[in-house]
Amino acid sequence: MNTMPDKDKTTIEQSSDALTVESVFATHADRLRAKRKMRELLDRGAGVTISLGGIGIIATLLLLLIYLVYVVQPLFESAQIQRLTSFQLSPSAASGEPLYLALEEQAELSMRLSSSGRVDFFSLADGAVINSEQISIPAGAQITQFALASEESGLIALGLDTGAVHLFSADYEISFSGPNNARQITPRINYPLGREPVFIAADAMQAIAVAQANDSIVIAAVAGSGELSLVRATRQSSLLALLDPSADTDYQLEFTRSELALVDTDWLLIDGDQRWLLAISAQRMVSATALDAVFSGSAAVQASDRLALQTESIQDARFLLGGLSLLVADANGDIGQWFFSVGEEGLALRRVRNFAGSGTPLTALTVEQRQKNVAAIDERAVLRLFNTTAERTLIKQQLDDIRIRSLALSPRGDRLLTETDSGLLTSWSVSSPHPEISWSALWERVWYEDYAEPDYIWQSSSAGNAFEPKYSLTPLTFGTLKAAFYAMLLAAPLAVCGAIFTGYFMAPPMRRKVKPLVELMEALPTVVLGFLAGLWLAPFVETNLLGIFALIVLLPVSIIAMSAAWVFLPRSIRHSIPDGWEAAILVPVIILSGMFALWIAPPLEMLWFGGDMQAWLSNEFGLAYDQRNAMIVGFAMGFAVIPTIFSIAEDAVFTVPRQLSNGSLALGATPWQTLAKVVLPMASPGIFSALMIGMGRAVGETMIVLMATGNTPIMDINIFEGMRTLAANIAVEVPESEVGSSHYRILFLSALVLFAFTFVVNTVAELVRQRLRTRYRLL
Amino acid sequence: MSKKLRKWLRAGSPWVWFNAGAVAISIIMVAGLIGLLAFHGLRHFWPTDVMQARYQPPGLPATEVIGELIESETVLAERLQDSGVDVDPAKNFYQRDLWKFGNREITGTDFGWLLTDYISEKKFPDALTVLERQQWGNFYGIPIALLERGETLANSRAQAENDSLLWAELQFRLDRAYELREEISSLQGQELGRVNSELERLRLLERALVIADEMSPTLKQEINENRATLESRLLVIQLRLNRLKAEISRDSVLMRAVNNREVQIALEDIVRAYQPNQLGLPGKFAVYFSRLWEFLSAEPREANTEGGVFPAIFGTVVMVLLMSIIVTPFGVIAAIYLREYAKQGLVTRLIRIAVNNLAGVPSIVYGVFGLGFFIYFIGGEIDQLFYAEALPAPTFGTPGLLWASLTLALLTVPVVIVATEEGLTRIPRSIREGSLALGATKFETIWRVVLPMASPAMMTGLILAIARAAGEVAPLMLVGVVKLAPSLPVNGIYPYVHLDQQFMHLGFHIYDVGFQSPNVEAARPLVFATALLLVIVIAVLNLTAAALRNRLRENYQALDV
């Protein structure tokens, strides 16, 4: 019993001990718990951060593709047209039929010329007339003729039945005034030859034409009798005019009356260069006369022709922007584009393309001032807006239920103004971001103005608005493939054969030395290769062309010769070098045969080609020789892709399971038979993917082609001529192209094409390789 | 014998040898290319002897020629005839030598071909001196007198053909000119630049205040006072500069060039003077290394065709460093996500293939993306938001260092991802499981165990990325390099690192000098040297990567047991 208290005591002691330990544990556990919580939080936070970061980075890489598509996509957006406002002009202004409608640069004001000779300027927002002016027409006289020099000049000629011609244009003066510096546009009529009309004929005329270029204005008129009269007004460059360009300048008039009788002339037109005078009749007859000849008195109709392909009678004829192409509309509503080009039967007007109508005649036809766009409206008020170069119909839409009799496009091409028979004017907003781009403009032959035939042409630099941009990607794609082809011609055999030898035959010690060398080769910056190709190799090859060919012939011969000679060498020498060192033995052989080829070439060139192989090639085969040509690119880019192909192909050959080849060898096959029948069939998918990846690299390479070719976008398979590739084209032109322009977007499109091509090629290659790896693993 | 041959054919030996030939050709091409670069690149700095000779083609008066012999070649008589040279019809081949004449102001051209047959009386006079100049290229001639402020110094006229006293005095005065030039360039580059940049900042501040409509008269007065102080400082620096310039233009040397023409050359124009013909081997090496050092450390001269490439080296290094800072964390995070966090399946497999293939997308595509997205889109927005006062002059909406680094980071991030992932894959599962079993969280396992083990792989990836970035030129042409940058992207002027500035780059330097410069012949040796430098840098980086990779493999082989 005595022990009880002791026991109790100890229990108490123990429990008190336990208490203290527990309390210690408790605080410790709290701390641990807190720490665990922290760790848990940290772990979760890190997980979230890493996941977000990882997904973000992968998304950024995806952004590359999305952004390219985002920039390119507007190229293929269809055009949109939207009704803005409709209004009637005040009764006094709305009098008479409209002869001409036009919009000013900012598309705030519009001008309407009525058949009575009254000009009204009105706001496009509400139709409020701002300014009016009457062209002074003598009592009893009638306006019988109207002619426009071009939409961009805005120079109008009005012919009266008295034989007089009034010449004027609308001018818009922009000033900034008021507290907010608001823009104020003041319209006025400008008479370049003075307010007095020019009397060009004795009485009413059949047709008149006017043209303006630099300092001269030409007016032509066909009198009722068919007699042709011309007036040339040349600006006098007086000191006064130089000092103050706004001052009235004097024009000197020169009258010419020609013997030509142009009967039945319905439209008289002068082209943009003032070289041709075209008289067109509704019966599809065209006669062309050289303008200079008329002035010098030796007038003759030089080309007379029927607009043979236009089936119905002519309804309208006018020049497209630039004054080179003639647009002829017939009663079907078909619009033909014609221009002079040299063909088999000499210089002739030729129909280049046709825009089919709906079978009803047109009521109005107009052309845009900055782009080769044409707008036409037919009897059923269907508007057609199309681009000639791209042969692309941008808009085809019925605008109204009533007939629309007149039409105007703003200079920027973003506004359209129509007038119905009832005199209701409507303004429309037009958006056609990149009208000159279409599938055919990018990839097919296009018949450009001033060219003899349709062709693939890349010429993006523009001299002015009237320049027809030539955006054919075909020559660039051709150049890309040509460069890649010649590069692969060198790289594929060298890399694949080298890989086979290294992966299967080569002695391991040598392999350990060759592999880093190939890796070093892969790391060589392409700018260095391009520089060597352009500045060292190109002149070298030019002077040693035959030597290079001799080298190409001699190398295989010398290799075979060496291998045959090896058999006959004394056994002691052969055995002193172990198997798998053949490549090392061949190095001096190849160097010597190369030197021999270069040494023997000049005398041979003297003997066979009279000392100049380039001249011989050009005389015998008509092959042109550029110093920086496809052969140089082939060498340099071949050099660049050899290591890419080599590494992957060598990997494929080397990793073929050894038991397969050992089995074959054990059955008595020679090493070469084993390679050809066992190893290569196994490794061929890997070699194929190596070639694909090499090809992808050759297609996208920029610096080498930039430096080793002349960068001319020509389409010629000739190995001695250069090319321009998509990648080099981007590098050359992107820095200068205007952001958001068609040119800019097309360059992005070519980047997208490159991206897509290499991505697809690489993916296919990668999938092939992965399947191969699985197959090896199974074995 | 025929038995041997038949056996040779049947065994497929010709094919084996053929394949061996392909390897041999590849080896020769790589070695030949490196050798060619090394030969031309290193030769450029060697002070060649200067030759004096008599040149008399038939039917023309004899002339004296002085210059360096660059190379000789055999040429067809016909080709000479085509280029308008009278040739002997009986001879098919001619030997001709390419000479570097220098003295551009006299001869008109630096280089010329002479037919070896008509060169006679070759000699190498000791007194022939090479003057490397700031402008107009080299000058070859014999110093005959020294001038101070246009007056011939007493006793300085050369007494003998080879006057060592005159030479010593010339060296002495040249040293003075070097020192003055250093002083001028530091004054111009640093102090003048600093004051000008402060003035520009003041102007922008003023505009920003006007735009924000917070301009008050007191502020305006303060700005004007500051401007007045700065302008007076500018004036002081200008005065000091003028004085130094007057000092440096004091001396000149009178040289006798070809055909006894005397030309006076200001010492301030002279970069280096030496007499190669009387230099021994040590002396030549001294000149060699001095020129090599100039190449590595000096600024370019004469439209980049002479002088050094230091700004290009510096620009390349800064751009690559910046790129590494961006690419490493992002690449590693993406790799860790793909390997450790993402659910393995078809999607990750596809992503892996896509990332792998992005490394094969042409670099110019990245350049186009960088230009469109980074510069025009993001840069344009930044300008609108933060640099409105400088508009319409763009700050970040134009090619620059930041955008170039970002573009290259994007270009190389697949390389880092792939390499890091490979490293992560190679770490055995047991190690991860061991760490987790001991109670470590996933992140702790990754941070403390997996990443340290994978660090060599990450380093390999980074080095490969750097090697690729250093050699890449095409995208940089769109997003930031220039042929001649006015100042370094990192310098002593606030804000010290100019991310918005354009910079020079070794690779672009090669392209620009080799293909865009007016005097390609004169620039070629320098381009070879630059190319060699670039190749060496990249080769060293790649070898380092290879060594690291091998170490990594050995480590894991130990672990695999």
Residue A731 sits in a domain whose CATH number is 1.10.3720
Cβ atoms B57, B118 nearer than 8 A: yes
Higher-confidence position of A222 and A297: A222
Name which of A392, A394, A398 is nearest A378 in CA terms.
A398
The answer to whether A409 and A435 have CB atoms below 8 angstroms apart is no
C-alpha dihedral, A473 to A477 to A480 to A486, nearest 10°:
-140
Q: Going by C-beta distance under 8 Å and a sequence separation of 6 or more, which residues neighbour residue A394?
A: A78, A79, A373, A385, A386, A387, A432, A435
Contact between residue B461 and residue B420 where contact means Cβ atoms under 8 Å apart:
yes
A17-26, A488-497, A541-550, B315-324 — which is least confidently predicted? A17-26
Q: Record the pTM.
A: 0.88
Question: What's the Cα-to-Cα distance from A550 to each of A606, A636, A712, B68, B349, rounded to whole Å?
Answer: 14, 19, 29, 34, 50
* Residue span of the structural domain in which A657 resides: 482-778
The pLDDT assigned to A501 comes to 92
pLDDT recorded at residue A12: 46
Q: How many CB atoms lie within 10 A of CB B148?
A: 13
The predicted-structure confidence for A678-706, as pLDDT tens digits, reads as follows 899 888 888 999 999 999 999 989 999 99
A151: CB partners within 8 A, 6+ apart: A102, A321, A366, A367, A368, A369, A409, A411
Give the containing element (helix H, strand E) for A130.
Answer: strand A129-134
Specify the DSSP class assigned to residue B393. S
B316-559 maps to CATH 1.10.3720.10: yes
Distance from CA of B472 to the nearest CA of A (A): 7
CA distance B467 to chain A (A): 7
Residue finishing a domain among A306, A321, A338 = A306
Tokens of B549: 């990779």
Q: Do A702 and B364 touch (CB under 8 A)?
A: yes
The pLDDT score that the predictor gives to residue A513 is 86
**Separation CA A368–CA A322 (nearest Å):** 10
Can you spell out the DSSP letters for A708-732? HS---------TTS----HHHHHHH
**Residue B155 Cα distances to A156, A164, A526, B158, B160, angstroms:** 86, 93, 57, 8, 12
The label of the residue with tokens 């999305």 reads: A66
Q: Which residues pair with A259 in a beta bridge?
A: none
A 483-502 residues inside an 8 A Cβ radius of B:
493-498, 500-502
Using a CB-CB cut-off of 8 Å, the residues of chain A touching B463 are none
Q: What is the DSSP letter of A180?
A: T
Q: What is the mean pLDDT of residues A423-435?
A: 89
Of the residues B3, B39, B357, B365, the best mutation for testing chain A's interface (the one with the most A CB atoms within 10 Å of its CB) is B365
Is the predicted pLDDT of residue B76 greater than 80, yes or no?
no
Mutation site, B9, B26, B548, interface A, largest A CB count within 10 A: B26
**In the predicted model, what is the mean pLDDT of residues B469-491?**
86
Q: What is the C-alpha separation between B300 and B296, in angstroms, rounded?
A: 10
Question: B538: exposed, middle or buried (C-beta count within 10 Å: 0-12, 13-18, 19+)?
Answer: buried
Instruction: Go through B189-222 and write b for each residue having 16 or more CB atoms within 10 A of its CB, e for each that does not.
Output: bebbbbbebbbeeeebebebbeeeeeeeeeeeee
For residue B385, what pLDDT is reported?
A: 86
A449 inside domain: no
Find the CB nearest B8 among A505, A519, A567.
Answer: A567
Residue type, A25: F
Q: Which residues contact A130 (CB under 8 A, 6 or more apart)?
A: A109, A121, A122, A123, A187
A230 within 8 A of A253, measured Cβ to Cβ: no
Take residue B548 and report the two structure tokens written for it: 């690291």
Q: What is the dihedral of CA B158, B164, B168, B173, to 10 degrees?
A: 20
Task: Tell me the pLDDT band of B556, cut-offs 50, 70 and 90.
Answer: low
Tokens of residue A623, six digits: 């092959």
Predicted local confidence at residue A724, as pLDDT: 92
Residue A285 has pLDDT above 70, yes or no: yes
- Confirm if A388 and A372 have CB atoms less than 8 A apart: yes
Under 8 Å between Cβ of A287 and A304: yes
Quick one: CA dihedral A596, A597, A598, A602, positive or negative?
positive
pLDDT over 70 (residue B561): no
CA A507 to chain centre: 52
Closest residue of B to A700, CA-based?
B362
Average pLDDT over residues B120-141: 87
Whether the pLDDT of residue A4 is over 60: the answer is: no
pLDDT, average across residues A738-744: 88
* End position of a domain, from candidates A254, A279, A306: A306
Q: Residue B375 and residue B385: Cα distance in Å, rounded?
A: 14
Contacts of residue B309, defined as CB under 8 A and 6 or more positions apart, other chains included, come to: B295, B296, B300, B506, B509, B526, B530, B533
**Closest chain B residue to A708 measured between Cα atoms?**
B515
Identity of the residue numbered A361: P
Residues in chain A: 779
- pLDDT, one tens digit per residue, over A209-219 is 998 887 788 88
Spans of all domains in chain B = 51-124, 138-278, 316-559
| Single-letter amino acid, residue A39 | R
B114's CB contacts (< 8 A; 6+ apart) are B55, B65, B96, B97, B99
B301 forms bridges with which residues in the sheet? B306
pLDDT of the residue at A10: 46
φ and ψ of A650, to 5 deg: -65, -40
- Nearest of B474, B363, B461, B477 to residue B411 by alpha carbon: B363
A625 or B303: which carries more pLDDT confidence? Answer: A625
Query: Can you give the pLDDT at residue A11?
Result: 47
Rounded to whole angstroms, the Cα distance separating A360 from A384 reads 13
C-alpha B29/C-alpha B129 separation (Å) is: 39
pLDDT over 80 (residue A245): no
Q: What's the gap in Å between the CA of B561 and the closest CA on chain A?
A: 21
In chain A, residues 565-624 whose CB comes closer than 8 Å to chain B: 566-568, 582-587, 589-591, 594, 602, 605-606, 610-612
Mutation target vs B (from A38, A518, A519, A531; most B CBs, 10 A cutoff): A531
pLDDT of residue A7: 47
Residue A15, pLDDT above cutoff 60: no
Two tokens, residue A489? 């011609």
Nearest to A724 by CA among A630, A632, A585, A594: A630
Nearest C-alpha neighbor of A111 from the set A96, A100, A125: A100
Phi, psi of B183 (to 5 degrees): -60, -45
Contacts of B358 in chain A (CB under 8 A): 61, 64, 759
**What pLDDT score was predicted for residue A2?**
45
Average pLDDT (A423-431) is 90
Angle between helix B13-43 and helix A474-500 axes, rounded to 10 deg = 110
Q: What are phi and psi of A669, to 5 degrees?
A: -70, 150
In angstroms, rounded to a whole number, what is the distance separating the alpha carbons of residues A120 and A597?
A: 84
pLDDT surpasses 90 at B358:
no
The domain tally of chain A equals 2
Give yes or no for a contact between B263 and B255, defined as CB atoms under 8 angstroms apart: yes
Q: Which amino acid is at B42?
A: L
Contact (CB<8Å) B365/A516: no
Question: For residue A453, how many other CB atoms are within 10 A of its CB?
Answer: 11
* Contact (CB<8Å) B353/A767: yes
Question: Residue A111 is encoded by which pair of tokens?
Answer: 């001008």
Facing residue for A602 by CB, picked from B74, B467, B546: B74
**What does pLDDT average to over chain B?**
86
Distance of CA A159 to the CA centre of its chain: 44
Output the CA–CA distances (angstroms, integers) from residue B494 to A155, A289, A322, B201, B395, in the order listed. Answer: 58, 71, 53, 10, 15
Q: Which residue of A has its CA nearest to B17?
A: A563
Tally of CB atoms within 10 A around A292: 12
Q: In angstroms, rounded to a whole number, what is the distance separating the alpha carbons of residues A333 and A325?
A: 18
Interface probe for B, chosen from A618, A691, A703 (most Cβ of B below 10 Å), is: A703
In sequence order, which ranges of B310-362 are alpha helices (DSSP H)? 310-336, 346-358
- CA of A612 to nearest chain B CA: how many angstroms apart? 8
Flag whether A77 is in a domain.
no
B95 confidence band (pLDDT: 50, 70, 90): confident
A629 touches chain B (CB under 8 A): no
The pLDDT assigned to B378 comes to: 92
Residue B292: Cβ within 10 Å count: 16
Give contacts of A615 with chain B, Cβ < 8 Å. none
The rounded percent of chain B whose pLDDT value lies above 90 is: 24
**Tokens 């019988």 correspond to what residue?**
A144
Q: Provide ipTM, 2 decimals.
A: 0.89
Evaluate if residue A16 carries a pLDDT over 80.
Answer: no
Q: pLDDT tens for residues B211-269?
A: 888 878 888 888 888 889 989 988 999 999 999 988 888 888 888 888 888 888 888 88
Residues, chain B, total? 561
Distances (CA, A) of A581 to A501, A672, B336, B396: 10, 16, 43, 57
Closest CA to A274 of A229, A210, A228, A226: A210
